[in-house]
Amino acid sequence: MTEERMKIREVIVVEGKSDTKRIQLAVNADTLETRGSAISEETLEQIEELHEKRGVIVFTDPDYSGEKIRKTIREAVPGVKHAFLNRRDAAPDHKGSLGVEHASLEAIRAALKNLYTEDVAAPIQISREDLALAGLISGPEAKKRRRLLGEYLHIGYTNGKQLYKRLNLFQISPEEFAAALKEINEGEQNG
């Protein structure tokens, strides 16, 4: 007996054909390809129209180009949903390129179950001081701790400056933030 693939109503925006093929192996969904990080006005208009009619999930590679695409779409079409892959899930063999097309079907499904929608009008919940006190902005382990936080919260890796923005745009609550820090701290103590 074959397993029923998860059906996604929204259109998933990906970077290229290889991403589309991988997504469609993992879930039953329609995709729109940006064909690179230089997104055309026509593509942005298509994304806006799809967002209004069906909803859009931005699912790009966890690298510089992927973040550039995500930012361009976020600025042009506020309110789209975001799915994030951890870097290790995007390069399971740890060599070569990094991307959605290399992720396991399980990692893709997990990312699509942990979606975030930005809310630019929402109040700030996590302060820069919270980040500094948690050792996420500076210090020898800050980069590692940001990576672990991004994995735990399913929001992807960011630098210290962008972490503040992403946590608040996606309305990560102080409770979610504290739970993530507890896991990170326990992991550091145990291993």
Q: What is the CA radius of gyration of the chain?
A: 17
What is the rounded (10 degree) CA torsion for 66, 15, 118, 179? -60
Please tell me the predicted confidence (pLDDT) of residue 1. 43
In the block, tokens 């990560």 appear at 172
Residues 97 and 129 reside in one and the same domain: no
**Span between the terminal Cα atoms of the chain, in Å:** 41
Residues 42 and 58 reside in one and the same domain: yes
Residues 134 and 89 reside in one and the same domain: no
CATH number of the domain where residue 109 is located: 3.40.50.140
Helix (H) or strand (E) holding 149: helix 142-153
Q: Are 41 and 75 in contact (CB under 8 A)?
A: no
Instruction: Tell me the C-alpha distance between 127 and 105, whole Å.
Output: 35
Instruction: Tell me the C-alpha distance between 32 and 110, whole Å.
Output: 20
Print the domain residue range for 88: 1-118
Which tokens hold the place of 156? 């992807």
pLDDT score of 119 more than 90: no
Instruction: Tell me the C-alpha distance between 77 and 80, whole Å.
Output: 7
Pairing of strands 31-33, 56-58: unpaired
Among residues 118, 150, 174, the one where a domain terminates is: 118
pTM: predicted TM-score of the whole model, two decimal places: 0.76
Structural domains in the chain (count):
2
- In tens, the pLDDT along 16-45 reads 999 999 999 999 999 999 988 889 999 999
- In tens, the pLDDT along 61-101 reads 988 899 899 999 999 999 899 999 988 888 766 566 788 99
Residues 11 and 84 reside in one and the same domain: yes
